[in-house]
């Protein structure tokens, strides 16, 4: 009887102190997503240029990467995402969009492929946001979003005699500069040391600073020219480092 009692105690103790099964560390999930997202950015860039066939090759790679992500993390998310009841559904929805975009790209329909893929960027950002995760891609998203608002002045420059319009331009410019500086200051070490990244940040911030001068001089042509040049830099920021 005494030996039976001891056996029961040991059984209970073993199971009480057996560590629970946890998901992989969050940085492993973020790294896997970042790798797949690189193929996404390339595909989106190619589709924008109308090159659906080459984009399909990038999407095939992304589909393979995402299948691995869904299998590895879908039912066992990292602790950071463990309370998110929509975690697996989000991964599955992204997988479906990749598949739909790939099929359209193979058919040569760049427009349909872009439509299928477009929500993925915001879906990933929302997944991180609702779980309190912020990665470098989010800095780029913020910078791109700010510049989209700024770029509207490319086709609709303010009336420099109207204070409210000029103030609006100043506010949006300040926000854009802030997020571009955040991109520069918070880049991962391997990105920060990249000569292309250094040049891109320096050129972009210099052009943004010149917009202040254009505003002071009430020079609409200069404003338009600077925004036109910044547009390509903004796209490259997303493509190469987003």
Confidence of residue 141 (pLDDT cuts 50, 70, 90): very high
Under 8 Å between Cβ of 242 and 137: yes
Nearest to 55 by CA among 65, 63, 64, 47: 47
Cβ-based neighbour number of residue 196 at 10 Å: 11
Domain segments of the chain as ranges = 26-129, 136-241
- CB neighbour list of residue 37: distance below 8 Å, 6 or more residues apart: 124, 137, 242
Confidence of residue 23 (pLDDT cuts 50, 70, 90): low
The top-level CATH class assigned to 136-241 is mainly alpha
Nearest to 224 by CA among 137, 155, 132, 135: 155
pLDDT per residue as tens digits for the range 176-212:
999 999 999 999 999 999 999 999 999 999 999 999 9
Contacts 24+ apart (CB under 8 A), 55-60: 55/105, 55/110, 55/113, 56/102, 56/105, 56/106, 59/98, 59/101, 59/102, 59/105, 59/113, 59/117, 60/102
Cβ-based neighbour number of residue 87 at 10 Å: 20
Q: What is the pLDDT of residue 90?
A: 98
Average pLDDT over residues 102-109: 98
Q: What is the pLDDT of residue 24?
A: 73
pLDDT per residue as tens digits for the range 34-73:
999 999 999 999 999 999 999 999 999 999 999 999 999 9
Q: What is the pLDDT of residue 76?
A: 95
Least confident of 4-8, 37-41, 119-123, 132-136: 4-8
Give CA 133 to chain center in angstroms: 12
**How does the average pLDDT of the chain come out, rounded?**
92
Residues 161-181: b if buried by 16+ CB within 10 A, e if exposed: eeeeeeeebeebbebbbebbe
């Amino acid at each position: 009887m005494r030996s039976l009692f001891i056996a029961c105690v040991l059984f209970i103790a073993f199971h009480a102190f057996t560590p629970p099964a946890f998901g992989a560390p969050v940085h492993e999930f973020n790294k896997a997503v970042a790798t797949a997202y690189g193929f996404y950015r390339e595909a989106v860039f190619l589709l924008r240029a109308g090159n659906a066939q080459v984009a399909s090759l990038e999407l095939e790679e992304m589909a393979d990467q995402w299948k691995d992500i869904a299998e590895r993390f879908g039912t066992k998310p990292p602790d950071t995402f463990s309370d998110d009841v929509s975690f697996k559904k989000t991964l599955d929805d992204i997988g479906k969009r990749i598949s739909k975009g790939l099929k359209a790209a193979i058919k040569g329909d760049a427009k349909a492929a872009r439509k299928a893929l477009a929500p993925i960027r915001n879906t990933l950002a929302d997944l991180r946001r609702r779980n309190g995760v912020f990665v470098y891609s989010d800095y780029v998203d913020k910078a791109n979003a700010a510049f989209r608002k700024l770029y509207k002045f490319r086709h609709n420059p303010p009336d420099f005699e109207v204070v409210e319009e000029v103030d609006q331009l100043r506010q949006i410019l300040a926000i854009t500069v802030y997020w571009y500086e955040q991109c520069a200051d918070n880049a991962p070490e391997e990105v920060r040391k990249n000569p292309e990244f250094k040049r891109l940040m320096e050129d972009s911030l210099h052009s943004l600073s010149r917009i202040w001068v254009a505003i002071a001089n009430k020079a609409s042509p200069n404003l338009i020219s600077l925004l036109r040049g910044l547009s390509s830099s903004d796209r490259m920021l997303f493509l190469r480092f987003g």
